[in-house]
Structure formats: C-alpha cells, structure tokens
Chain A
Amino acid sequence: MPKVTIDGIEIEVPKGTTILQAARMIGPEVAPPTMCYYSKLKTSGGYCRTCIVKVSKGSAQNPNPMPKPVASCRTEVMDGMEVQNITSPEVLEARKGVVEFLLINHPLDCPICDQAGECDLQNLGYEHGAVKTRYEFKRREFEVIDIGKYIKLHMTRCILCYRCVKTCEQITDKRVHGVIHRGDVSEISTYIENAIENDFSGNVIDVCPVGALTDRTFRFKSRVWFTKPVDAHCGCNKCSGKVRLWLKGEEVLRVTARKDQWGEVEEFICNSCRFEKKKKSDWVIEGPSPISHQSVISQNHYNHLNEVKIQVLKQQKALGFAETKGDSVTRK
C-alpha cells in the first residue's frame, strides 16, 4: 500500500486513493476544500480548482516535484509522495486566487438566498477569501428559471461545478440537463427548458454547493439557522427513506438527504420523500442531527441562549445602560 505524506503527516492508503481522499483520512485540518468534487459521483471534480495542492516530491522512484499545482481530487497518490497543502504559502495564495475568481461573478445576495448558512461558497470565502473585491465591473446575470414544479434555478449564483449534471447523468435515468454555451456565459440548463421530471431529480438541490438550485417548497419559508435538523426515516419503496427533517416548532419546513462531515449526502433520496411528506406524522424521528459546532445552524441547539442573554443584560445594567425594551438596548 502506498505511503503518502501530507503536510508532514504520513498515512498509508489503498492503491488508487486520491490525494484528497488521503487528506480526508488524516482529518479536516489538512483536507483541501472542495466545491465540485463529490465522492458519491463518478468523474466529478477537477473543475473548481479550490483543492489544488503542491506535490513537492512525486514518488519514491521519481522524487522530482510536479511542475504545477495539481487538483488533489483527481490525482492519485504514489508511494513516497509528499504533498503540501496548508504548509505551502503558494498553495494558499493560489487558492485565494481561485476563491476570488469564483466570487467575481457571484451576486453575493446571501441575505436573500436560501442556501445561506449551509453554503459551501460562504464557508470557502470566509476561510480563504479576501475582505474586499477587486472586481469593479458588472456581474454576470441570468433569468431565474423554474425547472419542474419543485426546483428553481438561479443561474446567476452558479459556480459551474457540474455536480448537478453528474447527478442527473448517474442517478436519474432520463437526462435532460446539461451545460449550454461556452466560457463565462455558459449555463446549466434543461433541454430547451424542459422540466426535470424524475423521481430522483431533487437530489440536484442537495449536491449544489451554492444557492443556484433551490427547493421551491422551502423558498423563503425560513433561514436555515432558525430550523432544527433531526434525522428521521420512513418506509419508502423507492429510496432508503433516511432523511433529515428541518423543523420549525412542529412544522416540517424541508426534507433533505443526510449529509456527512464533508457536506456530501450519505444516501440519495427520492422526490416523494423530499417534497411530499411534509407532516411530522409521516416520519419516525430518530433524534437531533449532528451539526458541526462551527456551523451557524448549530446555534439553535443551545437552549442556554436565553441564560446568556440574561447575563448580558445584567452586565449592561451594571455598566449603566437604560432599561431594556424588548431586545433593543439604548444608552443613557
């Protein structure tokens, strides 16, 4: 089994493992971010270039470094390979460049985007992006299109990761969905704007890293961080029936597939589970979903928020703030 060293940490991995998978085996600290790679979809990856790393030693036989940074999601490890990710300033600089490229034509309409809070691009921008944009031109715009009665396409937000194209290619049987045009005007489209009518088409919403494909049954109902995720299942004859429910009080606002640590769905679910079973009684609830404590969604898990608020108010009173009216505080 080949041994590979990533950021100074050695790991032995099966043959055929990519650098990215090896890095994920080590842990999230050294795993490069991904926007287009999706381990559940074959031939995905290589497009967004956020996962580029520097190979400082090719292999034990050929110790020369690779001349250019490589896409870690599509490069297989060799025995004795040495990879630099977060330890290489060049890689971090290049990644910053890629984030900038991804953002120059992104509308940054997070305040009105349903994806905000669980958006890969937000996370990436937060971690690797610049504070200010250097782009001063008009951003690319597209019309918003309904594709089918359940899915809405905001092409303006799309970063062309091809994940939805691969999903339609690989898990639905009739593909009517692809990329048209070329270069920076290329867009995701259905064949002459045909609706995607397929039992598994809803999965394109889950794989979309940004808010380009959104759930029409959930649009503008709530910010994701005001909903509580719980894992649930049902006896479905089309899919595994293992889902994540997003609750607000007793109401099921949204049903999605369960996502793992890397933001990838564990099992694809069918459209009737996703869009039609919107009552709590349709489901057997297993318990709260694991959410990273770094995620904005996790804030709803803390019941002691009220206590924190009371303490803050007490301190404010001690410091000479005026009586509070509702949530707002005014100074004397």
Chain B
Amino acid sequence: MGKKLLIHNEHVAGIHTYEVYRQMGGYASVEKAIKTMTPDQVTDEVKKSGLRGRGGAGFPTGLKWSFLAKPEGVPRYLVCNADESEPGTFKDRYLMEKIPHALIEGMITSSYALGANTSYIYIRGEYFYVARILETAIQEAYTNGWLGKNILGSNYSLDLYVQVGAGAYICGEETALLESLEGKRGNPRIKPPFPAVAGLYGAPTVVNNVETIAAVVPIVNNGGEEYAKIGVGKSTGTKLISASGHINKPGVYEIELGIPVEEFIYSEEYCGGIRNGKKLKAVVAGGSSVPILPTELILKTAKGEPRLMTYESLSDGGFITGTMLGSGGFIAMDEDTSIVKNLFTFARFYHHESCGQCSPCREGTGWMEKILKKFMNGTANEADVDLLWDIQSKIEGKTICPLGEAAAWPVAAAIRHFKQEFIDIAKSKKFVDVSHYNRLNKTKEAV
C-alpha cells in the first residue's frame, strides 16, 4: 500500500464536518505554523519538500511563493484555483467534496506563509454544490476561530471567500481566473507582468491548485524533508490521479510519485486492469490536453526503461515519444476505441472553450473540429491528415495562453502515433456515428 497524505481518512464517517476533521488531527498545521513558525519558515519547508504545482504545469511551489513581490502597504492575495475543467480530471472535486477542511486548512497555512489577509477559492460554476460544502466548512472554521481576526490570539487575520465562476474552461488559466474574479470577462492577460507582481486588482498574487494547497498541510505537519522522502528525484510526494476510461476500477487514487505506470494500470490496488479482459490501446496520461501515447510507449520509454508516474519519466523523450503528467487525468482506452473519434471529442471541447481573444486559437480550433467531423461522416480524404497537422503546428506556441497548445498537442500526438488510423478512415469513406454530436448541436440551436 502506498502512503497517503491527502485522502488517507476519506472513509471516516462525517469527515466533512469540523468536529470529526479536528478529531482526526485537523488544523494542526495552522497551529504549528502560526504558533511556532515565521511565514518565511513555512515557505522554506515548502521549498524543501520539492512540492510541484499539481494543476498541470508542475512548477515548484516554493519557488513560485518566493517570487511573490512584497512591497510595503500593498495587499497580497492567495487564490486557489478550483476551476478544474480539464476533461478527465476530477481529483479536486473529490478532495473538496469529501474533505473540504483539508483545503481550508491548507489555505490558512499558505496564506500565513505568503502574508495574505484575504484569500479566495475560485471554483467552477458546475461545482456549485461543492461550493456550498466549502461555504459551510468556512463558516465552521470562522465559528471555531480558525478564520477572521487575530487567529489563535496572534496578530494574523485572514478572510476566506468562495467565488463561483460561470463555467468556462478558460477561467482555469490563472490570469483569466483573476480577470473573472475581478468581475470582468474571463480573457487571459498578456504576460508579463506575471501575477506574482501584478495579479488580482493589480496586487501581487499567488494562484495555486487545490491539491497543491492541500499538500501544504502534511508538509508543515511532518516537515518538508519528510515529504521529500516520498517519490523519485524531483517528483516528490503523493499525487491524486483521476483514473477513467476502459479500466475495471475508475476513480480517484492517491499514489506515491514514482510507481510504474504498468503497476498503476494493472494492479488491484489501483485501476485493476482493462475492462472485459481487453487489451490496452492508448493512454492519455494527464488530462485531455497532453499527448496521447500508444501502449508500447506508455509502459516503456523509447529507451526501453519502464515508465514511472513522475513528471520526468512521463515527459521522457519530449513530445516525440513522451507525454506529461499534467493534472493527473489518466484516461485509458482499450483496443476497440477509435482514436479519431476520441480526438474529435477533444477538438470539439477546445473549439467550444476557446475564449476568442487571439486569432490562431479562435479560428484554428474550429477549423480542426470541422476537419475531424469530416472523418466522422466519411467525407475526409488523405490530404486532410496533412492539413490537420499543418493547422495544429500553426496554433502551437503562437497564442496568448496555453489553451492553443492544449488544443494542438492532442491532435499532433494522435497523428504522430496513429496516422494509419486516420488514413484508413479516410480511405474507407465509412460513416462514423456522430449522433451524439448532432444531438448536442440540436439542443444548442433550440436554446
């Protein structure tokens, strides 16, 4: 059994309430931090732990915190990014739904480390019921003196708010999130300046993922060095993985970074193998935007070493033979899956979610979807594969925010590893079922 730090007491009855959470040792990190540590010491512990951003990019959290500008007389903000919208990722929802106090405790400790007196949890609109759970938990924390003025008798005060978004994928991009939080249209900002210098309301701001903030709790409790012992190399600690697709046991699993991918897919402790005894065809390892990999490359790297669930091992070989750990949305596909159809679904998503600010993404995502639709209804020809490749290469890296890349990478990877499938479909001129897509469009028109 791997070590669990975030959801170790997920099955304790009533863990979502303050009383039970406190009994299980909750809020110890706040006590320890405020009573015995200075804010810089907390940041140092996080640095020592080697914790990396769990939202997808994997940027070292301690380093991000130390970049925060600290001018006199200007407020600083901590914003928790709970706008978890990547297809295939649902770990944050699970954590907030089951153990809301873990996030709140992490928010208090992290805000203390950063010197923020107002913090926000920006949660996606579709999670309105989770927002209610969080609000109840925040109320409990206020009642018990963990939030508000002079926490634990110190001179540190913190107010914590939950803000519900309107349900746009783009608002998970940190600067678009800040725009949305300010009450504006959720368009990504042009960087620089980075949020660490001018973020929310122009003040220095740190934006962290839910899981990152929750991971601060065990780091402060047990010390950063203890946390860093788990994992391999620069990938330390534990990570929540949302496993979905054609596996026997889909769900959220907390893994120690560094277990082999093969073990994760086939062991009884985790996914439990492929459904109905079928063979694995491909895996999207970190949410829909990361490159898809065929079985032989996901289980073993191009050099023949077993691939591990770490940031480094998964990205071994670059995008030619590797992928990314991303946000941990692990989607497994069995041998009967059509990669092209799957790609069409992804492309439709990115077309729908493009904010429309910069031209390559606004026009290119729609174009890619339309070409993939041709594959679906059997009117595509072989030249369309090359056209698709050319379009994605003209989107990637040319946009303001990473959504353009997120839309381009899956297309590139699918063509790179499964080109023959595209060509076969184009040659066969066969109709692939698009009833689901048509039905969706009809509802859209009706609205």
Interface residues, chain A, with chain B CB atoms under 8 Å away: 46-49, 52, 67-69, 71, 74, 94, 97-98, 100-102, 104-105, 134-135, 137, 159-160, 162, 178-179, 181-186
Contact = CB atoms under 8 A, between A and B. Distances in A.
Q: Which of A97, A162, A184, A186 has the most CB of B within 10 A?
A: A184
A48 B357 CA distance: 8
A28 B34 CA distance: 60
10 cross-chain pairs, A with B, having the tightest CB-CB distances, nearest first: A97-B394, A186-B356, A101-B363, A183-B354, A68-B397, A46-B190, A183-B356, A184-B366, A101-B359, A137-B370
Q: Which of B351, B357, B393 has the most CB of A within 10 A?
A: B357
Interface of B: 168, 170, 185, 190, 351-360, 362-367, 370, 387, 393-394, 397-400
Contacts of A104: 363, 367
A68 B363 CA distance: 20
Given A134-B387, A135-B367, A183-B354, A49 B360 contact: yes
Contacts of B351: 183-184
B398 A183 contact: no
Interface of B is mostly: helix
Given A160-B362, A184-B362, A52 B185 contact: no
B358 A100 contact: no
Contact of A183 (B353, B360, B397, B399): B353
Contacts of B358: 46-49
A179 B397 contact: no
A94 B398 CA distance: 8
B360 A74 contact: no
Contacts of B354: 182-184
A101 B364 contact: yes
B45 to A, nearest CB: 30
B370 A182 contact: no
Contacts of A100: 394
A78 to B, nearest CB: 12
Contacts of B370: 137
A188 B418 CA distance: 40
B359 A74 contact: no
A182 B359 contact: no
Nearest to B364: A101
B140 to A, nearest CB: 37
Contacts of B362: 101, 160, 183-184, 186
Contact of B357 (A47, A97, A135): A47
A161 to B, nearest CB: 9
B387 A49 contact: no
B359 A160 contact: yes
B356 A184 contact: yes
A178 B393 CA distance: 31
Contacts of B170: 182
Contacts of A186: 355-356, 362
Contacts of A160: 356-357, 359, 362
A159 B359 CA distance: 8
Given A46-B358, A105-B363, 11 more contacts: A49-B358, A49-B398, A101-B359, A101-B362, A134-B387, A160-B356, A160-B359, A182-B170, A182-B355, A183-B356, A184-B365
Nearest to B359: A101
A67 B396 CA distance: 12
B203 to A, nearest CB: 18
A67 B353 CA distance: 25
Nearest to A43: B190
Contact of A98 (B359, B397, B400): B359
Contacts of A74: 190
B294 to A, nearest CB: 27
A185 B445 CA distance: 13
B174 to A, nearest CB: 17
B348 to A, nearest CB: 11
